[in-house]
A = this chain, B = another copy of it.
């Protein structure tokens, strides 16, 4: 029975048409119904305040008009921007979005994928970075395989090492662009503040930087790397730890903009360094706030909203499935130079 108490039969009766016709019009069946009949049914439904029964339709079709979107943290502008792009495309297709927030807990991610599968979502978009923790990819793969076997659609943002279509930002190349920028400004004493190393986006950004640094004939093993949460407060704490370890650092590479925001705050107070005159700071992501921070931030731009939209397009496009190889979209990145980087105050010895 319907919450409103109005049944599909009531709608059909009021329109003077059959139950089958009412069902075709209101439940979006592909069978053709004449325009006049469709209009009568719609008017009757509106008059009666009929609300269709989603779960009954889901049982009949074994899917719903809902897609699942899994993010690590909706309160992080990185995920909020991806979610906005994905939800814009979903809404254009008449789909609702069930958003699952893992709170950065990989076990919870797998749990949510199961829950969303049980809700018969039409597709699953995993927006969080892949995790290199032992056993995680295998466990996630097993759950996703069952979902895909039942006709569920899957798309990914960032590298997950899984056989589903994905939107893959050039994290390594971005790290390399940061290395070149700081190198060309004469910085030789660079410190890195990093998110959890089990995130593939973190390890890619880091290896992109160190690979390029070595290619300039410099020793990347000498670069201090301090880990922390991939958040503003994680960046604040890591910056303090970095300068305690080496007060001579002239530039910080923060592996995302949230950590860079924390670095700028820590450099201002309590450390008391001027940015960029004394210390340069580079971030990664180009969140919308990057240009508005206390020093407008030099960072690597990812088109986050577009990435979310592209991933949802991949999920909903028919050609993305069934092909021999999953279709991936490779997203180029660009360094955006703002006010937080300048030539090193004391250039190190040239390599």
Contact = CB atoms under 8 A, between A and B. Distances in A.
Nearest to A101: B87
A350 interface: no
Interface string A108-120: 0000101111111
27 contacts: A3-B149, A4-B146, A5-B149, A49-B142, A53-B59, A55-B64, A55-B120, A56-B59, A58-B58, A66-B98, A66-B119, A73-B84, A74-B83, A74-B87, A74-B99, A75-B80, A75-B83, A77-B77, A80-B80, A83-B99, A84-B101, A87-B101, A88-B103, A96-B98, A96-B115, A97-B100, A265-B291
Residue of A103, A119, A152 with most partner-chain B CB within 10 A: A119
A289 B83 CA distance: 19
A80 B91 contact: no
Contacts of A335: none
Contact of A55 (B54, B76, B261, B295): B54
B80 A3 contact: no
A254 B74 CA distance: 25
A118 B52 contact: yes
A296 interface: yes
B101 A98 contact: no
A229 to B, nearest CB: 14
A1 B146 CA distance: 13
Interface string A338-351: 00000000000000
A53 B84 contact: no
A282 interface: no
A192 to B, nearest CB: 21
A238 B59 CA distance: 51
A39 to B, nearest CB: 19
A299 B113 CA distance: 40
Interface string A266-297: 00000000000000000000001101111110
Counting every copy of the chain, the complex holds 2
Nearest to A6: B146
B291 A289 contact: no
A147 B3 contact: yes
Nearest to A231: B288
A307 to B, nearest CB: 13
Given A55-B120, A66-B119, A232 B87 contact: no
B116 A146 contact: no
Contacts of A248: none
Contacts of A8: none
B146 A3 contact: yes
Contacts of A54: 55, 58, 118-120
State the 5 A-B residue pairs at the shortest beta-carbon distance, nearest first.
A3-B150, A55-B58, A55-B55, A54-B119, A75-B84
B292 A232 contact: yes
Interface in A114-151: 114-120, 142, 146-147, 149-151
A2 to B, nearest CB: 8
B49 A146 contact: yes
A81 interface: yes
Contacts of A115: 65, 96
Nearest to A2: B150
A161 interface: no
